[in-house]
């Protein structure tokens, strides 16, 4: 049975901690937005909710053992990368689409561009800890 390196040890631990912070922040932000002012800016707020789900998936996928969770992490980090690039570009190109910011607006500039760096770090970590068949 090929074994993969644990994703939760070493620098993976720091990565998971950062993902967990984003998961909590994005969940809090989007629940509040959707609960109190959903009709103000439905598109960005729906995207905030998607971002929250992606961050939760990435956190769990990286933190939990097993190949199933590894696939969750791949999917979440991949979606995150596409999300931050597409939403980042759209938010710069068409500001009318985004009356309010999401975590991915302007490539995550509001969060020190961490949302842009994070998926690269996540994917790189998944690649480094991938299954190696001896």
- Give the footprint of another protein on this chain (CB under 8 A): 9-14, 16-18, 20-21, 24, 28, 32
For residue 82, the minimal CB distance to another protein (Å) is: 25
Tell me whether residue 25 or residue 81 sits nearer to another protein (CB atom): 25
Tell me whether residue 13 or residue 64 sits nearer to another protein (CB atom): 13
For residue 9, the minimal CB distance to another protein (Å) is: 7
DSSP state at residue 1: -
Residues 6+ apart with CB under 8 A from 75: 57, 61
Residue 104: in which H helix or E strand, if any? none
For residue 67, the minimal CB distance to another protein (Å) is: 22
Tell me whether residue 32 or residue 43 sits nearer to another protein (CB atom): 32
Tell me whether residue 71 or residue 99 sits nearer to another protein (CB atom): 99
* CA neighbor of 123 nearest in space, from 89, 88, 84, 76: 76
- Could you tell me the CA-to-CA distances from 28 to 37, 48, 129 in Å, in that order? 14, 10, 31
For residue 133, the minimal CB distance to another protein (Å) is: 26
């Amino acid at each position: 049975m090929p074994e993969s390196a644990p994703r939760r040890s070493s620098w993976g631990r720091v990565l998971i901690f950062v993902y967990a912070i984003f998961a909590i922040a994005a969940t809090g932000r989007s629940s509040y937005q959707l609960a109190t002012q959903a009709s103000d800016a439905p598109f960005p707020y729906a995207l905030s909710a998607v971002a929250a789900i992606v961050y939760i998936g990435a956190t769990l996928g990286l933190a939990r053992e097993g190949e199933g969770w590894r696939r969750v992490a791949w999917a979440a980090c991949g979606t995150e990368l596409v999300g931050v690039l597409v939403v980042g570009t759209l938010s710069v190109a068409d500001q009318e689409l985004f009356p309010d910011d999401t975590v991915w607006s302007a490539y995550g500039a509001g969060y020190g561009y961490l949302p842009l760096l994070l998926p690269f770090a996540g994917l790189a970590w998944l690649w480094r800890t991938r299954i190696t068949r001896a």
